Every structure is written in structure tokens, then in C-alpha cells.
């Protein structure tokens, strides 16, 4: 059950309207790595978790907090749009009236669709999609995705932070960046705790599927010019999963001969002899008609 508290998790007010920056802030709301994505991802993972206890609570705690971030950014976008359209358009018209609505104006949906409020879309207007959500039911696999999501979210928030000089907006983003740091570190810590509790490094435990081809499971294949990749930790020494060592294959050979393509269906390929439009031995084409109208 959710209960809405009317106060924001963190309060901040912009010094002035800025519809152009409001459009940029949409990325942190409804973008691929925005707050709505991580909120729904953590909640879906929590509801999908079959093991009650600390991990399920961690997911639901964090997903609920991310909903608060959705509210904070939505509120900030609305404040940046408040009283802005006429002022911004007038300023743009002074330089180039024809481009006022495009260059000097705001996201048209902010005026047309939401009436001066945020929309569930990214900074280019692409609608938010539930297809971005990862909730596999495997905690180790999901926590790794979560750590990556927080990394992407933080780098985008940092870029947006450096696109404004409004101290009120920067204050809110500083708070969001701090929470991104916490969340990224908590997922990394949760991964380590899962491993300390005996979960295998591989999210697909042994015994679930037949044995892999172990001779290939530790090889780094050099498929680029040069051999720079051989200098990494991944080219030699013990593997993180504890299942042997890495090895480096400088010039890997194909593992199978060139495939023979299956025969073509003449009714699907017009250029195949014997097909509906294929060439007949007499020089005419299948599907052609005689002067009498017969094929």
C-alpha cells in the first residue's frame, strides 16, 4: 500500500522560468535512464522477489523513494514552465520571429498536452516505455542492472547540472546526484552480500542447464587489429567466477564451415527459376500473360 505525503522529499525553487531547460529536465524524468524508469524497475523487481526479507525491502524502499524523485522533478519542470511561454517567445521574437517557437520556445507538448506541466517523455519527446524495465526475478542479475542504471542516471544528471546556472535547479540536482551515489553503492554492496552468502557469481547456477562448453567459457578472442585487448585483466589469470583462468586467442579460427543456405521458396523469391515471376526455359516469365489473356 502506498501513502502520499504532501511534502516533497527535497524542496528547491528555480529563480526564474526557463522552458528550454524544462525540456532538458524531461530526460531525467521520462528518459531511458530517468527517475520513472528506476522507480518502476525497483518496484517491479521487489514485487517479483519471492524471498521476503532484506533484499525485497531494499528494492521496495528504493523504488518508493524514486517515486518521490519523479514528483520532485515533475514539480521543478512545472515551476520552470510557470509564466514562461509568453516571456520566452517574446525574447526569441526579438531576434528571429520565424524561429521563436522552435529555438526560443519550449517543448510544444508542455503547452498543448499538459497545460504547463511535465509529460512522461524524454527530452526529445519520445514517450516513456515500460519496455525499458528489467525485472528478471534473479536478484544477482537485477542488482547488476540496477548499479548500471544508477551510473547512467548520475552521468546524465551531472550533464544536465552543467547546462544551467540557476542555483535553485542546481540545488535540487545536487540532492539527486547524492542519492544516485547512495543507490549505486547500495546495489554494489548488495551484490557483494549475495556472493558472501554463497550465491554463485553466475546468475544462472550450475545444474540449471547442461554444462557449458568450458573450453570456450574463458577465452578472449582477438577480433580487432592489433592486440591491445591482451593487456587487460580479462586476458589471463583467474576468472571472477572461480571456474578456471582466462586465456587469450590471438587469431581465432571459425568453429564451423561456411553454411549452405536452405533452398529458396520459389513463391517467395521472384528471381528464382520456376517461381511466379521466374524465367521460363522458353524465355517468357512465369506470371506473364499471352495476348489472349491466358498465363
Element containing residue 172 per DSSP (H, E): helix 167-196
Q: What dihedral do alpha carbons 69, 44, 146, 144 form, nearest 10°?
A: 170
Q: Which among 207, 220, 66, 210 is positioned nearest to 133, based on CA atoms?
A: 66
Collapsed DSSP state (helix, strand, coil) of residue 213: coil
Question: How confident is the model over 197-201, as a mean pLDDT?
Answer: 77
How far CA 151 is from CA of 42, 195, 291, in Å, comes to 15, 21, 71
Question: How confident is the model over 164-185, as a mean pLDDT?
Answer: 97
* Predicted confidence band of residue 272 (pLDDT cuts 50, 70, 90): low
What's the gap between Cα 290 and its chain centre?
Answer: 58
Which position has the higher pLDDT, 16 or 104?
A: 16
165 phi/psi in degrees, rounded to 5: -115, 10
Q: Sheet of 237-238: strands edge to edge?
A: 219-221, 245-249, 237-238
pLDDT tens string 32-69: 999 999 999 999 999 999 989 999 999 999 999 999 99
Does residue 285 carry a pLDDT above 50?
Answer: yes
Q: Residue 109's pLDDT is what?
A: 82
Which position has the higher pLDDT, 277 or 66?
A: 66
pLDDT tens string 70-104: 999 999 999 999 876 555 555 544 555 544 544 45
Residue 27 contacts residue 93 (beta carbons within 8 Å): no
By mean pLDDT, which of 67-76, 91-100, 118-127, 226-235 is the weakest? Answer: 91-100
pLDDT tens string 175-198: 999 999 999 999 999 999 998 888
Does residue 25 carry a pLDDT above 70?
Answer: yes
**CATH code for the domain defined by 19-196:** 1.20.1260.10
Element containing residue 247 per DSSP (H, E): strand 245-249
Question: How confident is the model over 250-260, as a mean pLDDT?
Answer: 90
* Predicted confidence band of residue 290 (pLDDT cuts 50, 70, 90): very low
For the chain, domain boundaries? 19-196, 219-249
Amino acid at each position: 500500500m502506498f501513502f502520499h505525503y504532501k511534502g516533497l522529499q527535497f524542496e528547491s525553487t528555480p529563480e526564474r522560468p526557463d522552458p528550454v531547460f524544462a525540456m532538458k529536465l524531461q530526460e531525467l524524468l521520462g528518459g531511458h535512464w530517468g527517475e520513472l524508469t528506476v522507480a518502476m524497475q525497483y518496484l517491479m523487481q521487489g514485487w517479483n522477489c519471492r524471498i521476503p526479507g532484506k533484499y525485497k525491502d531494499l528494492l521496495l524502499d528504493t523504488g518508493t523513494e524514486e517515486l518521490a524523485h519523479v514528483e520532485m522533478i515533475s514539480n521543478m519542470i512545472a515551476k520552470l514552465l510557470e509564466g514562461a511561454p509568453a516571456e520566452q517567445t517574446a525574447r526569441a521574437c526579438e531576434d528571429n520571429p520565424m524561429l521563436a517557437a522552435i529555438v526560443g520556445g519550449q517543448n510544444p507538448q508542455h503547452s498543448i498536452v499538459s497545460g504547463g506541466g511535465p509529460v512522461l517523455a524524454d527530452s526529445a519527446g519520445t514517450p516513456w516505455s515500460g519496455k525499458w524495465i528489467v525485472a528478471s526475478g534473479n536478484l544477482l542479475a537485477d542488482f547488476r542492472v540496477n548499479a548500471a542504471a544508477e551510473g547512467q542516471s548520475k552521468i546524465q544528471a551531472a550533464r544536465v547540472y552543467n547546462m544551467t546556472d540557476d542555483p535553485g535547479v542546481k540545488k535540487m540536482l545536487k540532492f539527486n546526484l547524492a542519492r544516485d551515489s547512495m543507490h549505486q553503492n547500495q546495489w554494489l554492496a548488495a551484490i557483494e552480500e549475495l556472493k558472501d552468502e554463497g550465491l554463485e557469481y553466475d546468475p544462472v547456477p550450475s545444474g540449471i542447464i547442461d554444462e557449458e562448453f568450458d573450453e570456450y567459457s574463458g577465452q578472449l578472442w582477438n577480433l580487432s587489429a592489433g592486440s591491445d585487448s591482451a593487456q587487460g585483466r580479462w586476458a589471463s589469470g583467474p576468472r571472477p567466477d572461480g571456474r578456471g583462468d582466462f586465456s587469450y586467442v590471438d587469431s581465432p579460427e571459425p568453429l564451423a564451415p561456411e553454411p549452405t543456405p536452405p533452398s529458396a521458396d520459389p513463391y517467395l523469391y521472384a528471381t528464382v527459376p520456376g517461381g511466379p515471376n521466374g524465367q521460363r526455359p522458353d524465355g517468357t516469365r512465369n506470371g506473364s500473360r499471352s495476348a489472349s489473356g491466358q498465363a
